[in-house]
């Protein structure tokens, strides 16, 4: 019940702020209920409850089988102050989101073009071409739609969600129009025509695409800062306490807890913590460890039995039955876990793109003492070298939105899946560990560029190993997740 309440509050507060600040104007329609479900990762019942609350607050009008319409509008300049303050409290967060987009989105767009081809990619910009001379708000939304469609063409299950979350976190108020037009002079000097993005895509050159989109987000961030500084100077409020305005949950609203527990147990089996032929702890012990009922543990173990990782005996308990990589194959090929497989591969592909720029940002904040701690952590039993390296990178990232995204994606990368391909689990000599340790040596010697490159290579290797095995086993969708190249 608490989780549903949190999802309700998240959607309600987000839509309410967008209505109050004029992102959705008086007389405009909200996205459909299905679109809201997809964008915010919530169920249809949550959306209905939120729309009902907004209707009772006098912000929207709803009709059967029609999108809700905005009926809220300002009556005078004094009504703007609370909304202005709400936005200015997110000023630092908004600017951090733009810097995060500058780091992440260029590689994602470049890879998407590489996957779908220039001709298909250009089809997504047709509406934007029609709207290229219209008002800023119209062009803004047309650009967003074009880029969402482009990311869908990548076949990565995370790209669209990450981009959507960043867009939500970066939205700025349009409620001062027409009194004031946002001063997008810097970015307009860079690309007065939004089709400037399409020109980069049409080149088919991943380096050009990455450079153009990085410049776009950099210049947008510059002008957004000017706009928010201008608003702040008008109301002369003094210091404004900042709060984080960005959040993202990679699996929000989609998971049952027993499935999460099953994944964690598979992880332990793959790592070799629970060895082949050994018995899992009793159900009561696992229930206490995970803080759930024995019935929930029983459902998790039942799933492991179906997938071939374990076999439960009436008296003895549950024995691990992991033989080579067959259990992993069954887990990822099973109908229930098919999406899990593709989500896992999507996470590896994303991290192959995101880990290197994250490392370049974080390394200056990692001192010799912390490197010493990392060296000690790498010697611990069942330590996953790549996971340790990424943990320290994430903790030292200066951009909170970037941290949130990497934490979430890292959370779905259960390394037991990878290590279960090896007879001795994590203790086996394998390429992932070798590359990870070489990356750490580069960090120790101060070779930051090579450290970042090797981190990306770790994720590329894991992606190729699992993807190729699954594709050969008949999961054709796995083959669509291509390995990122050095330039995306």
Please write the tens of the pLDDT for every residue from 331-387. 555 666 677 788 889 999 999 999 999 999 999 999 999 999 999 999 998 889 999
Beta bridge partner(s), residue 319: 279, 311
Number of H helices, E strands in the chain: 23, 4
Question: What pLDDT does residue 238 have?
Answer: 67
User: Does the pLDDT at position 482 exceed 80?
Assistant: yes
pLDDT of residue 277: 87
Per-residue pLDDT, 251? 61
Q: Which stretch, 136-140, 242-246, 369-373, has highest mean pLDDT?
A: 369-373
Amino acid 202: pLDDT: 93
Percentage of the chain beyond pLDDT 90 is 43
Exposed/middle/buried for residue 1 (C-beta within 10 Å: 0-12, 13-18, 19+): exposed
Does pLDDT of 203 surpass 70? yes
The pLDDT score that the predictor gives to residue 4 is 39
Beta bridge partner(s), residue 311:
319
What percentage of the chain carries pLDDT values higher than 70? Answer: 84
Which residues face 60 on adjacent strands? 70
Mean pLDDT check: name the lowest of 21-30, 168-177, 190-199. 168-177
Q: Look at the block and give the residue holding tokens 């459909």.
A: 32
Q: Of 229-243, 247-261, 326-340, 351-365, give the lowest mean pLDDT range.
A: 326-340
Asked if the model's pLDDT at residue 181 lies above 90, the reply is: no
pLDDT above 90 (res 321): no
The residue that leads in pLDDT, 134 or 427, is: 134
Which of these ranges, 183-187, 224-228, 396-400, has the smallest mean pLDDT?
183-187
Q: For the chain, report the end-to-end CA distance as a whole number of angstroms.
A: 42
**What average pLDDT does the structure give for the chain?**
84
Q: pTM here?
A: 0.82
pLDDT(394) > 90: yes
Average pLDDT (274-303) is 90
Q: Count CB-CB contacts under 10 A for residue 113.
A: 24
Of the candidate ranges 6-10, 19-23, 79-83, the one whose mean pLDDT is the lowest: 79-83
Lowest mean pLDDT among 171-185, 318-332, 403-417, 437-451: 171-185
* pLDDT(486) > 70: no
Asked whether residue 200 carries a pLDDT value surpassing 50, the answer given is: yes
Rounded average pLDDT over 59-77: 81
């Amino acid at each position: 019940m608490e989780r549903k309440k949190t999802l309700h509050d998240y959607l309600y507060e987000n839509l309410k702020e967008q209505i109050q600040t004029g992102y959705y104007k008086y007389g405009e329609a909200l996205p459909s209920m299905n679109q809201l479900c997809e964008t915010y990762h919530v169920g249809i019942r949550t959306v209905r409850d939120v729309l009902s609350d907004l209707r009772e607050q006098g912000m929207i009008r709803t009709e059967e089988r029609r999108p809700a319409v905005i009926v809220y509008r300002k009556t005078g300049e004094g009504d703007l102050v609370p909304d202005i303050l709400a936005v200015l409290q997110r000023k630092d967060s908004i600017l951090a989101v733009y810097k995060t987009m500058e780091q992440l989105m260029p590689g994602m767009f470049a890879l998407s073009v590489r996957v779908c081809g220039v001709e298909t990619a250009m089809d997504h910009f047709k509406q934007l071409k029609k709207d290229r001379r219209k008002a800023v708000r119209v062009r803004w939304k047309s650009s967003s739609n074009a880029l969402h469609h482009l990311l869908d063409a990548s076949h990565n299950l995370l790209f669209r969600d990450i981009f959507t979350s960043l867009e939500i976190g970066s939205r700025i108020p349009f409620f001062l129009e027409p009194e004031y037009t946002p001063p997008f002079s810097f970015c307009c000097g860079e690309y007065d025509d939004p089709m400037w993005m399409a020109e980069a895509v049409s080149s088919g050159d991943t380096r050009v695409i990455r450079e153009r989109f990085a410049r776009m987000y950099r210049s947008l961030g510059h002008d957004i800062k000017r706009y928010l500084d201008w608003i702040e100077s008008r109301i002369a409020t003094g210091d404004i306490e900042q709060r984080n305005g960005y959040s993202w949950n990679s699996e929000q609203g989609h998971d049952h807890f027993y499935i999460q527990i099953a994944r964690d147990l598979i992880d332990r089996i793959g790592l070799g913590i629970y060895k082949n032929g050994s018995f899992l702890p009793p159900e009561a012990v696992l229930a206490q460890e995970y803080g759930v009922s024995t019935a929930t543990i029983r459902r998790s173990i039942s799933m492991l039995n179906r997938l071939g990782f374990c076999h439960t005996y009436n008296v003895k308990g549950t024995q691990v039955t992991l033989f080579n990589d067959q259990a992993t194959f069954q887990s990822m090929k099973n109908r229930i876990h098919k999406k899990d497989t593709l989500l896992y591969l999507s996470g590896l592909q994303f991290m192959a793109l995101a880990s290197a720029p994250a490392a370049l940002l974080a390394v200056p904040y990692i001192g010799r003492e912390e490197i010493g701690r990392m060296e000690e952590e790498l010697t611990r039993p069942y330590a996953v070298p790549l996971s340790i390296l990424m943990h320290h990178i994430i903790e030292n990232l200066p951009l909170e939105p970037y941290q949130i995204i990497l934490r979430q994606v890292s959370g779905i990368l259960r390394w037991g899946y990878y290590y279960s391909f090896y007879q001795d689990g994590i203790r086996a000599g394998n390429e992932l560990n070798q590359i990870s340790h070489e990356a750490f040596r580069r960090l120790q010697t101060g070779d930051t560029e090579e450290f970042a490159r090797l981190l990306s290579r770790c994720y590329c290797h894991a992606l190729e190993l699992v993807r190729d095995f699954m594709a050969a086993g008949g999961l054709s969708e796995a083959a669509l997740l291509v390995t990122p190249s050095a330039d995306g």
